[in-house]
Chains A and B, each alone.
Chain A
Amino acid sequence: MSDPGWVKFTTSGSTAIWSCGGAWTIEHATRLDGDLTIPAEAISKTAILDLSAIDQLDTSGAWLISRHGKTLHGKGFAVETREGDPDLAALLKRVVETEDVLPVQPPQRNLSDKIAEVGAAAEGILTESRDLVAFFGALVMALSRLALTPWKLRWNAIFSHLEQTGLNALPIVGMINLLVGVVLAFQGADQLARFGAQTFTINMLGISVLREMAVLLTAIVVAGRSGSAFTAQIGTMQVNEEVDALRTIGLNPMDVLVVPRVLALMIALPLLTFFADMMGLLGGGLMCIALLDISFGQYLSLLNQAITVDHFWVGLVKAPFFAALIALIGCFEGLRVSGSAESVGRLTTRSVVEGIFMVIIVDALFSILFSYLGI
């Protein structure tokens, strides 16, 4: 193993000499970088770089020597380089002759750039909204075209997505709604007991589960599970140029990729919501039986008095709208993927966030609508 690199500065008559030796490699580069200075004694304008004692050189070392030589040259020195080994000289020559070595400067951002970024972001939101509306229009066109020729629908794809987004989501949707039913009943009974109104726990439970909780929680789970999957699947296809391949063989990505997913989710989400209703009422019921000291039969009859079938429909009717939104956003973001795998990840996150956000906005609009209608 060779010695660590070193550099010594001496003067001989009017000549400044830098003698270098040892291993000029990347491990020693930081130290050597600091040691290669131009001392005040170097007043004369002739310099010698004596490299004969260097026994190991890599590009980092060669870079330091080359840079030092160029700095001296720039200060008006006449520089002479004395290499020992011919291999070493060849490497040094190669590095010295490499031109245009410009380290990347991080771009400077001033206030006007930041303001411009805000503007660009706002414009981005507007164009994206416009594109989403246009995409919705294209989807409606495709759906109405396929409604006239239903045998052209891709039934295999629809059933496969039904299985993935519906059947496979049953455990998680059931579990979450059961637990939320338990929590609602427990909290409700606890608070209402202060007014001696425990029996109203069942009214509160039935109405909140059927009207809001079941459908909203299910839509959020599905947005996280299936909306993200849609974006990732279509996005990966986009990266592999599979979507372009579809177009070149005369298949419309809208018909092949988007319509089956949208239809499957519009079927799956109402079914999942019904399942969620049942699980929510079951979980809440178990808690009511335990806390209110009633039998299962009494629970069912109290529930029957507390709610009407309208409450059930109010919840369920929202499911297909939420499903269409989630699937639309998932597919739209998937088709916006371009280039790298990184954009798949970014747009998948975006699709989930936008999906959940839109579901909640539309849920609020439905609440306003129902209160006008007096349901």
Chain B
Amino acid sequence: MFVILGDDGILFSLKMSNFFQIIKKEKIAPNGFLFRIKAPEVALHAKPGQFFVLRVNERGERIPLTLVRWNRRSGTIDFAFQVIGKTTHLLSKLKEGDFLKDVLGPLGRPSEIKYYGTVALLAGGFGAAAMLPIANALKEAGNNLVTILGARSKDYLILEKELRRLSSKIYVMTDDGSYGIKGFVKDGLEMASREYDIAHAYVIGPAIMMKFTVAACQELGIPNTVSLNPIMVDATGMCGSCRVNVGGKTYFACVDGPEFDGSQVDWNLLLNRLSAYLNEEKHSYELFLKKKGVLPRGKEKKA
């Protein structure tokens, strides 16, 4: 038993089993990590396409991250994240053996896995992590996989080996041409579509990448599924923070998604809503970095 002093000075006692220990930490890109944590209940029910929510500490934000791998027997889950703000920064500073404050999952509707024929997997940046379990399941369902993996440069490519193993062909795209082919994921798609008769595409990555890649799919007449990543709070359908517009209707991505028909998504709305707290987040992050001595004092901008 642990005893923790709550914010209001009232003692809390917690059982060990309520803690979520970090078993493994691996740096997989200059800006990102892969973690393996103990979360037996999440591992027990996880399915491809689902995510979970974590909190780093008592004052922390709830952030959603996609489930990459899970092991029922050892009760662990894997996830990959890139450092972009305060919470992911704090997360990146945790070490093997440390504990996360809260872990809730699995959440969201699992992917609808079926046989399509040839499926194109279009992954941008850390979208590759979210793609991996879906790729496994699609492969198991008998699909032929063609993967197009994109990143800004060689160092930022993640899970290439794992995805390569599942695919009959992989196109690696880098923005700067430091590895593979110079270009974006949508350029890779155009190449692939000349070689393969693509029945369906999965598109996962930053919203802006999904927007343009889906447009390319539409031009080529390829039906597609995307995994949306709006800002979430509870992630259980209670608040409406994650609302997205698909086919003219409002959905809550955390319970109705995160996967939707990409051609129906209102991308501009998603992009607008994703940047809603940009100033606040920047302010919070800079204040935090300044306190840590990473940024010189007095340089941060007011929110």
* Chain A complexes with chain B: no
Contacts from A to B (Cβ < 8 Å): none
